[in-house]
């Protein structure tokens, strides 16, 4: 059924009209309302996005949009542009008066009419009212022969000139008028440029005190000129202006931000953005310009949709204040303006139609020309805006060429600042250049956080969108152990941080030396300390740091950076390289844990509302036996002369592990029949990371040789707290007594069944948690390689009976905070000295 959207400045008015329409048409017609629009300081895009989000869920059979006045109409128009072209024709902005139009439309839609009919009825709504009042139809006004034209001269009175932010305000305002509007820098004697092109307006480089001319041609030329005059002479003029140039988008010096500590260590350096990897364009010319032109438009639409999704995701993931939210929206809005810049599209169209360039070649040239214009600007801040153009341009180019969305080459060493990084992006970082990582969103136990930690790169996540305001090159420092971020730190502060970093590095060296010995508790009790790794480089780090083998190879990470799933033979090579790097120690390989926050190139995962509760781990593998069988065969082959163990992820039910084991046995027998060299059947374990598995550990223990307790997922599922969502980060603490009870039950069930149990989530690496795992009776800890020396040292200072008493008491406490206090009060000095 056709839906209705009511956009109004007044919530009461919108609700009232919806009520009236529902009374007349019944409740079946979907009616969305968007009210309480932002004020003059809120970017128009913010309202447009609200409208887009309200319309999107009801758009399937078309939507008629009624907007009351001025800003509501402009925002509704802009919202329409956010839809891909193919969907746009299903959404109609209706000029009918709000109440009459919405009611007529609702009644017609309720009767099952199609979109055109609903719009026509709404537009006719006034006719019957006029007839009822006995009024005559207003005479049709003849179409104007010549559009009015106007001009405006003024001197820019804005201390920073027409920089990105004021330029964006000007362009957005110009977009609200139908008229053609041009802008000219009289002082610099430039030619007039299109005032609806963000790139051209910025490139004019208008400075404070320079004279500009604005010309408008069109039906609303006078209104446009008046609005622009008002913007430039009233709104953009600061009463307390200073003649000292300010950096508009940078925060004031010496400012500090705070995020979530994700990987320890201090890093000091310039803000670096990702440098796009060169995108190779295979075909430069085409005989089918029409097809290429459509191709480009579709890529631009998809790119717009991706940006909207990203914006929504970051907004949801970061606990932001209104201030931060609106400034992030301003950056986002500017990116949309770059994407929709009419001159950019015009240039690409010209290249496609006149020079027969392919869509990718035309778009790349158009983007490069704009970037070159920026790079010739004198003002360094304006020059740095070329990064925004590249960012937007690259998205479209990736869609056009199918290039991998990977862009993590840093030109020089620095601190990588990004909205958020995916595990595959982190996996490809060059630790030589990336001194530290700082992201606006994210959580420490997300897979990106885990990877950052294993690479040993200091990392702070979940800082919030204001991080993204820092321009490239700004000096920052981060402390990945505390989550502190210093912007433009004072030289004294830098000196102090350098000293701290030196001390930390020296301690790390000493600990690494001591970690070459086995982990033995103060009373002689032995606990194996293994590494969680995701590739051969980490395997080497693990060995240097004293690992006694690999507890978990997160095998999916070996695949993430590839375009396709490696073949069985290629997998044999990959696993063998790692087994060799840790020889003669055991290698525990976790079978592919795809899904959740780990997409996999080459496997199309469905869009799921709750991916962590969806098609992940063993569930997916049992549905894709081709993947499972190839990986098992590869591991059995490597296991012929290397101590390989096999571990299944995300087990929730006994029959899953039984089914997986049956497939393993079948493959072992197949290989044996083919005379492939094999050893005995390897040890098989289940990850206990779903509460159901922990509660059924007694039964599960009979089906496996060992348990690996994944505290990251066990905590996420037990506490119902998404491990990637910074808003609920405080809940994802494995020391919550609820989680500890599940761990305790699992270890006890393992002991009763005579199998061994390992604790392997991120909390296996926390010195405060180590006494608890030891006290609960874990046989093994498996953790991020960087933390091994510290954990071994902690173990060496604790007695087992002491740890058991602490663990018993911890199970009776109320909260993770109380557990931490308990451990600190009993072992404070021991732990702090490690
Ligand atoms: C866990 O869930 O604790 C675990 C070790 O696996 P991952 O973090 O890879 O999900
Ligand atoms: Mg897990």
* Rounded Cα gap, residues 449 and 452, in angstroms: 5
Which of 761, 773, 780 maximizes ligand 1 atoms within 8 Å of its Cβ, making it the mutation to test the pocket?
761
- Ligand 1 centre to CA of 444 (Å) is 12
Coil, strand, or helix at residue 35? coil
**CB-CB contact of 408 with 274 (8 Å):** yes
One-character DSSP codes across 141-181: PPPPSS--EEEEEEE---TT-S-HHHHHHHHHHHHTSSSEE
Q: For residue 710, which ligand has an atom nearest its CA?
A: 1
* Rounded Cα gap, residues 484 and 504, in angstroms: 16
Q: Is the CB of 712 under 6 A from ligand 1?
A: yes
Which of 538, 550, 554 maximizes ligand 1 atoms within 8 Å of its Cβ, making it the mutation to test the pocket?
554
Which of 712, 723, 762 maximizes ligand 1 atoms within 8 Å of its Cβ, making it the mutation to test the pocket?
712
- Ligand 2 centre to CA of 806 (Å) is 26
**Residue with the nearest Cα to atom 10 of ligand 1?**
713
Which of 760, 765, 766 maximizes ligand 1 atoms within 8 Å of its Cβ, making it the mutation to test the pocket?
760
Atom of ligand 1 nearest to the CA of 782: 5
DSSP conformational letter for 785: G
Atom of ligand 1 nearest to the CA of 710: 3
First to last CA, the chain: 66
Q: For residue 447, which ligand has an atom nearest its CA?
A: 1
- Ligand 1 centre to CA of 761 (Å) is 5
Which of 443, 591, 687, 719 maximizes ligand 1 atoms within 8 Å of its Cβ, making it the mutation to test the pocket?
687
Atom of ligand 1 nearest to the CA of 713: 2
Q: Is the CB of 689 under 6 A from ligand 1?
A: yes
DSSP conformational letter for 204: T
Cα dihedral: 81, 87, 90, 92 (round 10): 0
Q: For residue 758, which ligand has an atom nearest its CA?
A: 1
Position 829 scores a pLDDT of 61
Atom of ligand 1 nearest to the CA of 716: 2
Q: Is the CB of 711 under 6 A from ligand 1?
A: yes
Q: For residue 551, which ligand has an atom nearest its CA?
A: 1
Q: Which pair of tokens denotes residue 302?
A: 């998809």
* Rounded Cα gap, residues 714 and 428, in angstroms: 28
- Ligand 2 centre to CA of 719 (Å) is 14
Q: For residue 555, which ligand has an atom nearest its CA?
A: 1
- Ligand 2 centre to CA of 543 (Å) is 23
- Ligand 2 centre to CA of 688 (Å) is 8
- Ligand 1 centre to CA of 544 (Å) is 23
Position 244 scores a pLDDT of 33
**Residue with the nearest Cα to atom 1 of ligand 1?**
710
* Rounded Cα gap, residues 128 and 136, in angstroms: 11
**CB-CB contact of 532 with 782 (8 Å):** yes
- Ligand 1 centre to CA of 722 (Å) is 13
- Ligand 1 centre to CA of 628 (Å) is 19
- Ligand 1 centre to CA of 326 (Å) is 35
Q: For residue 532, which ligand has an atom nearest its CA?
A: 1
Atom of ligand 1 nearest to the CA of 760: 5
| Angle CA 592–597–602, to nearest 5 | 55
Q: Is the CB of 758 under 6 A from ligand 1?
A: no
Contacts of 766 (CB under 8 A, 6+ apart): none
Catalytic positions are 447, 760
Q: For residue 597, which ligand has an atom nearest its CA?
A: 1
- Ligand 2 centre to CA of 387 (Å) is 37
Q: Is the CB of 761 under 6 A from ligand 1?
A: yes
Atom of ligand 1 nearest to the CA of 552: 5
Helix (H) or strand (E) holding 345: helix 342-355
- Ligand 2 centre to CA of 600 (Å) is 16
Atom of ligand 1 nearest to the CA of 450: 8
- Ligand 1 centre to CA of 403 (Å) is 30
Q: Is the CB of 710 under 6 A from ligand 1?
A: yes
Atom of ligand 1 nearest to the CA of 762: 3
Q: Which pair of tokens denotes residue 297?
A: 């438009």
Contacts of 474 (CB under 8 A, 6+ apart): 250, 270, 271, 487, 488
Ranges of the chain whose pLDDT falls below 50: 136-145, 240-253, 316-327, 407
* Rounded Cα gap, residues 761 and 708, in angstroms: 9
**CB-CB contact of 87 with 76 (8 Å):** no
Is the sign of the CA dihedral 482, 488, 493, 496 positive or negative? positive
Q: Is the CB of 713 under 6 A from ligand 1?
A: yes
**CB-CB contact of 785 with 455 (8 Å):** no
**Residue with the nearest Cα to atom 8 of ligand 1?**
712
Atom of ligand 1 nearest to the CA of 761: 3
Position 593 scores a pLDDT of 94
**Residue with the nearest Cα to atom 4 of ligand 1?**
710
Q: Which pair of tokens denotes residue 27?
A: 């409740």
**Residue with the nearest Cα to atom 6 of ligand 1?**
710
Token pair 């089906």 is found at 703
Q: Is the CB of 760 under 6 A from ligand 1?
A: yes
| Angle CA 678–680–684, to nearest 5 | 110
Atom of ligand 1 nearest to the CA of 532: 5
**Residue with the nearest Cα to atom 3 of ligand 1?**
710
Position 437 scores a pLDDT of 94
* Rounded Cα gap, residues 152 and 798, in angstroms: 79
Contacts of 243 (CB under 8 A, 6+ apart): 159, 208
Checking DSSP bridges between strand 149-155 and strand 414-418, what pairing results, if any?
unpaired
Position 331 scores a pLDDT of 62
Position 27 scores a pLDDT of 80
Which of 533, 713, 717, 765 maximizes ligand 1 atoms within 8 Å of its Cβ, making it the mutation to test the pocket?
713
Checking DSSP bridges between strand 193-194 and strand 180-185, what pairing results, if any?
antiparallel
Token pair 């690496």 is found at 765
């Amino acid at each position: 059924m056709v839906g209705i959207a009511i956009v109004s400045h007044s919530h009461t008015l919108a609700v009232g009209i919806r009520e009236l329409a529902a009374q007349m048409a019944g409740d079946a017609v979907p009616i969305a309302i968007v009210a309480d629009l932002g004020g003059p300081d809120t970017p128009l895009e913010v309202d447009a996005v609200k409208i887009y989000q309200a319309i999107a869920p009801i758009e399937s059979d078309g939507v008629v949009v009624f907007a009351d006045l001025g800003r509501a109409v402009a925002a509704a128009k802009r919202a329409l542009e956010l839809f891909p072209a193919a969907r746009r024709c299903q959404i109609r902005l209706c000029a009918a008066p709000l109440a009459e139009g919405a009611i007529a439309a609702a009644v017609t839609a309720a009767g099952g009419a199609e979109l055109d009919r609903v719009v026509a009825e709404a537009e006719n709504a006034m006719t019957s009212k006029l007839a009822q009042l006995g009024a005559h139809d207003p005479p049709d006004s003849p179409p104007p022969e010549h559009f009015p034209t106007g001009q405006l001269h003024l001197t820019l009175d804005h201390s920073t000139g027409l920089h990105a932010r004021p330029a964006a305000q000007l362009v957005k305002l110009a977009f609200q008028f139908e008229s053609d509007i041009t802008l000219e820098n009289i002082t610099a004697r430039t030619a007039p440029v299109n005032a609806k092109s963000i790139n051209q307006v910025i490139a004019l480089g208008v400075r404070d005190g320079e004279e500009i001319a604005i010309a408008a041609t069109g039906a609303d030329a006078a209104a446009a000129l008046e609005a622009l005059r008002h913007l430039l002479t009233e709104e953009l003029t600061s009463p307390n202006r200073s003649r000292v140039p300010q950096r508009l988008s940078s925060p004031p010096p010496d400012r500090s931000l705070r995020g979530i500590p994700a990987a320890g260590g201090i890093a000091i350096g310039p803000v670096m953005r990702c440098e796009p990897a060169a995108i190779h364009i295979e075909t430069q010319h085409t005989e089918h310009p029409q097809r290429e032109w459509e191709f480009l438009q579709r890529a631009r639409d998809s790119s717009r949709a991706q940006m909207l999704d990203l914006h929504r995701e970051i907004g949801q993931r970061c606990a932001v204040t209104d201030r931060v939210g609106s400034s992030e929206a301003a950056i986002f809005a500017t990116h949309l303006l770059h994407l929709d810049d009419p001159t950019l599209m015009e240039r690409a169209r010209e290249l496609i139609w006149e020079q027969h360039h392919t869509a990718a070649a035309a778009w790349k040239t158009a983007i490069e020309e704009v970037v070159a214009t920026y790079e010739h600007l004198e003002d360094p801040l304006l020059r740095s805006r070329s990064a925004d153009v590249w960012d937007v341009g690259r998205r479209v180019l990736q869609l056009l060429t199918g290039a991998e969305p990977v862009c993590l080459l840093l030109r020089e060493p620095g601190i990588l600042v990004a909205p958020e990084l995916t595990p595959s992006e982190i996996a490809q970082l060059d630790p030589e250049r990336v001194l530290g990582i700082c992201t606006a969103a994210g959580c420490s136990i997300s897979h990106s956080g885990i990877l950052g930690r294993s690479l040993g790169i200091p990392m702070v996540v979940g800082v919030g969108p204001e991080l993204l305001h820092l321009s490239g090159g700004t000096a920052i420092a981060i402390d990945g152990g505390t989550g502190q971020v210093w912007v433009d730190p004072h030289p004294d502060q830098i000196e102090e941080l350098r000293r701290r970093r030196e001390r930390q590095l020296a301690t790390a060296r000493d600990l690494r030396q001591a970690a070459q010995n086995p982990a033995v508790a103060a009373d002689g009790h032995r606990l194996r300390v293994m590494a969680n790794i995701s590739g051969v480089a980490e395997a080497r780090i693990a060995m240097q740091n004293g690992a006694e083998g690999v507890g978990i190879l997160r095998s999916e990470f070996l695949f993430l950076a590839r375009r396709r799933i490696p073949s069985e033979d290629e997998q044999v090579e990959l696993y063998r390289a790692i087994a060799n790097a840790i020889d003669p120690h055991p290698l525990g390989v976790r079978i592919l844990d795809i899904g959740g926050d780990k997409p996999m190139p080459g496997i199309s995962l469905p869009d799921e509302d709750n991916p962590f509760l969806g098609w992940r781990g063993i569930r997916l593998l049992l549905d894709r036996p081709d993947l499972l069988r190839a990986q098992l065969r590869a591991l059995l082959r490597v296991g012929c002369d290397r101590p390989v163990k096999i571990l299944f992820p995300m087990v929730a039910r006994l029959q899953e592990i039984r089914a997986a084991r049956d497939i393993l046995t079948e493959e072992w027998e197949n290989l044996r029949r083919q005379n492939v060299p094999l050893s005995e059947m390897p040890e098989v374990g289940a990850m206990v990371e779903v509460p159901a598995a922990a509660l059924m550990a007694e039964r599960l223990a009979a089906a496996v040789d060992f348990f690996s307790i994944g505290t990251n997922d066990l905590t996420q599922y037990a506490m119902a707290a998404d491990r990637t969502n910074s808003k609920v980060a405080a809940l994802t603490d494995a020391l919550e007594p609820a989680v500890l009870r599940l761990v305790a039950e699992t270890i006890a069930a393992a002991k009763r069944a005579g199998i061994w149990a390992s604790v392997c989530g991120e909390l296996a690496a926390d010195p405060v948690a180590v006494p608890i795992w030891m006290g609960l009776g874990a046989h093994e800890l498996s953790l991020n390689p960087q933390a091994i020396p510290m954990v071994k040292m902690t173990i060496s200072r604790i007695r087992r009976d002491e740890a058991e008493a602490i663990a018993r008491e911890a199970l009776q406490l109320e909260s993770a905070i109380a557990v931490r206090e308990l451990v600190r009060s009993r072992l404070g000095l021991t732990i702090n000295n490690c």
